[in-house]
A and B are shown apart, each in its own frame.
Chain A
Amino acid sequence: MLVLRQTLLIAAKDTKVFLKDPFGVAFALLFPLMFILGFSLALRNIAPEDEQLAITVATREQEGLSHRIINLLTEDELLGAVVMPYDAAVRAVEEEEIGGFVAFPADFTSGLTEGRPTKLEVVARAGDPELEAALMGFARSVASSSSNTRIALAAIAQIAGPAALPRDAASFGRGGSLLSFETEQVGPVEAFNAANFTVPGYLTMYVFFAAAMGARAIMRERVNYTLERLMSNGARRESVVAGKYLGALYLGAIQLAVLWGAGLLAFGIHLGVSPAAVIVVSALMVLTSAAFGVMLASLVHTEASASSAAVLASLLLAPIGGCWWPLFITPEWMQSLAKLTPHGWANTAFNKLMLFGAEGGDVLVEMAALAAFGLAFLVVALVRFRLSPGGP
């Protein structure tokens, strides 16, 4: 009871001290907002007018099933497929008029009806992975439907004999059963909102930064003997450690409220399909960052070294941990390196939830990793924390 009372008093006092320090408030709340604003503006042109991908199709057959498939595809307005002669399509890719196309081979119909392997051809310009992925997906869908057709033809031939097959195999499936597909209008194509990345990124960076700078404040208290005065006043060591930790949690909670609030109201961010999971990850991040700050204070010996360690650690861990750029665009080795930092786990979870439509269950590993980091930091802090220079 005494420890709890002292813990709450110390945390409340630290919060009061924080709120009376204009630079501290600006550093913890305004700086990240400025960074978010700046980088959101700088990144807004990444895909300002995102357009629907145009699927271009071509065939090397004079006649046959491929023509029928192409007709079906081009008739659908939502799909918006464009048909071009094969040679013209190749030239268009070379001259960078189009990104790529899907082509039916010359033996498509015969291969399909005679059971020989036949391959759809995907031609894509280098450096356009999104279109290449879309064309590959489209080709796989067509191939899958065509395979089903071939299986149906083989089954008919086996059961009823080859005579049962239509004389002109190319006419098989007339009426739309050869290739069936559905298109669905899901809404207008939305432009990429850079704030969906920058808000969690800079939130993570500054929550950890502010907590790390809290180590400096703890060191100042140790050097000017206020911590020792607390002890001679009756405060217990565990109360001081817990009070400092709780004070850092209060600060982190204020940062979360302000920065997520600004993100939602001013930057129009989207918390994804599981906002509750975003809140849980945020809470774990604050718990871990607060422990990081107290641990840092327990490891350094002077106020200057606390400042240096806080700045160095924050500026090193933020880019490694994907606060400045999305981890998923970085090379694999950088993504592996990010796993050594709590920032990396937090940002991976935020990106999954806010950019890729993940749900809470999809980020359990990230949550567990953050909790493990926090626990480890807290254990070090509890073991190493000293109330006075050279004292207990």
Chain B
Amino acid sequence: MTEEFLVAKDLRKRFGDVPAVDGVSFTIRRQEIFGLLGPNGAGKTTIIRMLSTTLEPDAGGIEIGGRSVAEDSVGVRALIGVCPQELALYPELSARDNLVFFGRMAGLGSRQAKEAAAENLELVGLLDRAKDAVRKFSGGMKRRVNLAAALMSRPHLLFLDEPTVGIDPQSRNHIFETILRLRSEGMSVLYTTHYMEEADRLCSRIGVIDHGRLISLGTPAELKSAIGPPDEVTLEQVFLNLTGRNLRD
């Protein structure tokens, strides 16, 4: 059992002439919530897609749980769960049917999938709405189902790509509590967000990425101390200091 559950080494990916990810390396430890921050188009989602085996890197290596993504993508998929920033759900189906389907696709039997769906719906506070079609849900509820779907494969490492976009404080808080509970149960998490206070609250370490490069890495306190006393500096100031104040696409 290694301390580091995920190891990404010198990851590179180009789309045409544009380098989307340019030599990024980092690790995620067991039971760690690792934050990946960056402006729009910085390369965060591309990194998650490479880590989650759906996009092949041009160069570099990824190991998750001691398994190489390049050599054993099927084995890696058994260890990970992905919550994309899009609501990757079937709106016509009920919350339970969505979860059961994703669970069964992950290899669970029918009964196991139903049990896991009930557990995860309870975890995200939607067990009482299990039979309702997802299209009838509010944005926050859909986000929570999106998270629950990522948990159906009972992953060791969870990728959360901006899971709190456009939802109310109550739903956001519920998602925070869920993530912290999952970590306490042994799960590692890679978390991307534009909300600096979220990263500050949840993440034990943060990597800041811009133009496809990792430009800073450390604990929130370490990042803050680079520009001033940690108690007086916010993570947002650090972020703007690192990535500049110019508008991005």
Contact A391 B77 (CB under 8 A): no
- B211 interface hit (Cβ, 8 Å): no
B 51-86 binary contact with A (CB < 8 Å = 1; else 0): 011111000000000000000001001101010101
Give the number of residue pairs across the A-B interface with Cβ within 8 Å. Answer: 73
- A230 interface hit (Cβ, 8 Å): yes
- A167 interface hit (Cβ, 8 Å): no
Nearest opposing residue in chain B for A235, CB measure: B105
Q: Mark the stretch among A15-23, A175-183, A300-308 that contacts chain B.
A: A15-23
Q: Kindly provide the distance from the CB of B158 to the nearest chain A CB, expressed in whole angstroms.
A: 11
Kindly list chain B residues whose C-beta atoms are within 8 Å of the C-beta of A224. 86-89
Contact A16 B97 (CB under 8 A): yes
- A392 interface hit (Cβ, 8 Å): yes
Docked CA distance A21–B55 (Å): 32
- Please judge, given known A-B contacts A20-B133, A388-B54, A391-B54, whether A225 and B107 are in contact too, CB under 8 Å: no
Q: Kindly provide the distance from the CB of A388 to the nearest chain B CB, expressed in whole angstroms.
A: 6
- B242 interface hit (Cβ, 8 Å): no
- B24 interface hit (Cβ, 8 Å): no
- A161 interface hit (Cβ, 8 Å): no
- A127 interface hit (Cβ, 8 Å): no
A 348-390 binary contact with B (CB < 8 Å = 1; else 0): 0000000000000000000000000000000000000001101
Kindly list chain A residues whose C-beta atoms are within 8 Å of the C-beta of B77. 232-234
Q: Kindly provide the distance from the CB of A228 to the nearest chain B CB, expressed in whole angstroms.
A: 5
Docked CA distance A340–B107 (Å): 43
- A270 interface hit (Cβ, 8 Å): no
Q: Which of B15, B54, B78, B133 contacts A231 (CB 8 A)?
A: B54
- A71 interface hit (Cβ, 8 Å): no
**Among A6, A13, A391, which residue has the most Cβ atoms of chain B within 10 A?**
A13
A 150-181 binary contact with B (CB < 8 Å = 1; else 0): 00000000000000000000000000000000
Contact B92 A225 (CB under 8 A): no
Q: Kindly provide the distance from the CB of B151 to the nearest chain A CB, expressed in whole angstroms.
A: 11
Kindly list chain A residues whose C-beta atoms are within 8 Å of the C-beta of B106. 233-234
- Please judge, given known A-B contacts A387-B54, A391-B49, A392-B56, whether A232 and B82 are in contact too, CB under 8 Å: yes
- A226 interface hit (Cβ, 8 Å): yes
Nearest opposing residue in chain B for A8, CB measure: B104
Q: Kindly provide the distance from the CB of A201 to the nearest chain B CB, expressed in whole angstroms.
A: 31
- A54 interface hit (Cβ, 8 Å): no
Q: Kindly provide the distance from the CB of A99 to the nearest chain B CB, expressed in whole angstroms.
A: 60
Q: Kindly provide the distance from the CB of A123 to the nearest chain B CB, expressed in whole angstroms.
A: 68
**Among A16, A21, A225, A387, which residue has the most Cβ atoms of chain B within 10 A?**
A225
Q: Kindly provide the distance from the CB of A376 to the nearest chain B CB, expressed in whole angstroms.
A: 29
- A116 interface hit (Cβ, 8 Å): no
- A140 interface hit (Cβ, 8 Å): no
Q: Which of B89, B97, B133 contacts A226 (CB 8 A)?
A: B89
Contact A233 B153 (CB under 8 A): yes
**Among B80, B86, B149, which residue has the most Cβ atoms of chain A within 10 A?**
B86
Contact A225 B84 (CB under 8 A): yes
Q: Kindly provide the distance from the CB of B44 to the nearest chain A CB, expressed in whole angstroms.
A: 15
Kindly list chain B residues whose C-beta atoms are within 8 Å of the C-beta of A20. 92-93, 133
Kindly list chain A residues whose C-beta atoms are within 8 Å of the C-beta of B54. 228, 231-232, 387-388, 391-392
- B195 interface hit (Cβ, 8 Å): no
- A229 interface hit (Cβ, 8 Å): yes
- Please judge, given known A-B contacts A20-B92, A228-B54, whether A9 and B87 are in contact too, CB under 8 Å: no
Q: B138-159: which residues lie under 8 A (CB-CB) from chain A?
A: 149, 152-153
Kindly list chain B residues whose C-beta atoms are within 8 Å of the C-beta of A390. 15
Q: Which of B82, B86, B88, B90 contacts A17 (CB 8 A)?
A: B90
Q: A residues engaging B (CB < 8 A)?
A: 6, 9-10, 13, 16-17, 20-21, 223-226, 228-235, 387-388, 390-392
Q: B residues engaging A (CB < 8 A)?
A: 15, 49, 52-56, 74, 77-78, 80, 82, 84, 86-90, 92-93, 97, 101-102, 104-107, 133, 149, 152-153
